[in-house]
Amino acid sequence: MEVAVAATTLGVGGDVSSPSSLSLLCGLSALLVLLWALSRAAETCWLRPRRLSRALRAQGLGGTAYRFPAGDLADNGRLNEEARSKPMPPCHDIVPRVAPHLLNIVKEHGNVCITWFGPVLRMVIAEPKLVREILSDKSGHFEKFTNKRLGKLIALGLASYDGEKWATHRRILNPAFHLEKLKSMLPAFSTCCTELISSWESKLAGSDGSHEIDIWEDFQNLTGDVISRTSFGSSFMEGRRIFQLQAEQAERIIKAFQYMYIPGYLFFPTENNKRMKQINREIEGLLRGIIEKRERAMENDGLSSGNDLLGLMLQSNKESGASRMRMSTEDVIEECKLFYFAGMETTSVLLTWTLVVLGMHPEWQDRAREEVLSVFGKDKPNFDGLSRLKTASVSHTLLLSFA
């Protein structure tokens, strides 16, 4: 009697569909899944990093030792926090401020060394000849490192692609940066700058002759306005929400980075993860609206696609034959996200740093001002006149950075 009961419970010679048998099967399945997950985690977070570390050290490469499970992330975060907690003096020695951890590694281990981003090995190359050789190599062995899931939340686009997809997008986007296209954008540049200067003058008019202005914020608004008008044909007010969302997204992604070594972290239902996905959906919805508005104008009203970046992408899709030579709507959205984010951030940083450098070298302020007045007087800038400026140019700003 006891033997029969035991056999039935184990599903041997009994009904395998009984609740006890199903529970046993579910338990075994769960155990197998757990063992598989643990083995994958052990391979990713312990065995593979150890193998890579031994192999590279055998080739003579120095660097930090792998520490389970976060690698050098804790040190990187601590050093960044320490560097940013102090005011930065007006100098050009910016590396200790923006990349203190990498600076320490290079000082300690040389210009070619290794560090660990969680269980992911990163090779640091600070040797100019090697950098030039790697970036000019056409063999395809050097691939861009991208975290697709994290990249999708901020922007993918041309900067993250390789191979045929990169070539297709580059071919479509390249005409937007021809000299004649840039010339046609000059009136928009001038209008945006005039509006900014007018806002500064109105602030000064209501003061005693001096007024403190946060130019970083103003230059972010300026570059965002320029990108909206010249790349997507929309006004700054239409694009402002996108800029605000991308600024918040960038801060949240920086927070998420310190936990990216945890497998599947972006799937965790944390407040930060949920907000990042919500922001991405809203940005893509806004951009999709801009794209569909342009497509309707092209189809229903018979308007041209326009000479801006968005128009060129849509026109190329219309003219391309094979689907593999075209950009999907999702591709167009990703390129829009990239140009909004990367274009606004990089240009606003350059403009802000230019004024910092001019503040450090007032004699160059005088020289640049005299040159601009001698070429344009009180007239608005034009393309031919800009080409005659020698002192007031980006190259001189970069030279002053090393003065």
pLDDT averages per 10-residue partition of the chain, 403 residues: 40 56 82 87 88 90 90 90 87 87 94 91 92 79 73 84 84 81 84 91 82 88 85 69 87 84 84 95 91 82 69 74 74 87 84 88 90 90 86 64 55
Distance from C-alpha of 30 to C-alpha of 25, rounded to nearest angstrom: 9
pLDDT for position 399: 59
Based on the number of CB atoms within 10 Å of its own CB, is 85 exposed (0-12), middle (13-18) or buried (19 or more)?
Answer: exposed
pLDDT for position 394: 62
The length of the chain, given as a count of residues = 403
Distance from C-alpha of 362 to C-alpha of 89, rounded to nearest angstrom: 17
Residue 53 C-beta-side C-alpha neighbours within 13 Å: 17
For the chain, domain boundaries = 1-58, 61-139, 168-360
Return the DSSP state at 18.
S
Pairing of strands 62-63, 120-125: unpaired
Question: What tokens does 227 get?
Answer: 């990108």
Return the DSSP state at 88.
P
Rg (CA), the chain: 28
pLDDT for position 299: 78
pLDDT for position 6: 39
pLDDT for position 397: 62
CA-based end-to-end distance of the chain: 96
Nearest to 287 by CA among 248, 341, 348, 251: 341
Nearest to 256 by CA among 158, 121, 151: 151
Distance from C-alpha of 215 to C-alpha of 221, rounded to nearest angstrom: 10
pLDDT for position 219: 92
pLDDT for position 270: 93
pLDDT for position 2: 41
pLDDT for position 37: 85
Distance from C-alpha of 390 to C-alpha of 397, rounded to nearest angstrom: 11
Q: What is the architecture, at CATH level 2, of domain 168-360?
A: Orthogonal Bundle (1.10)
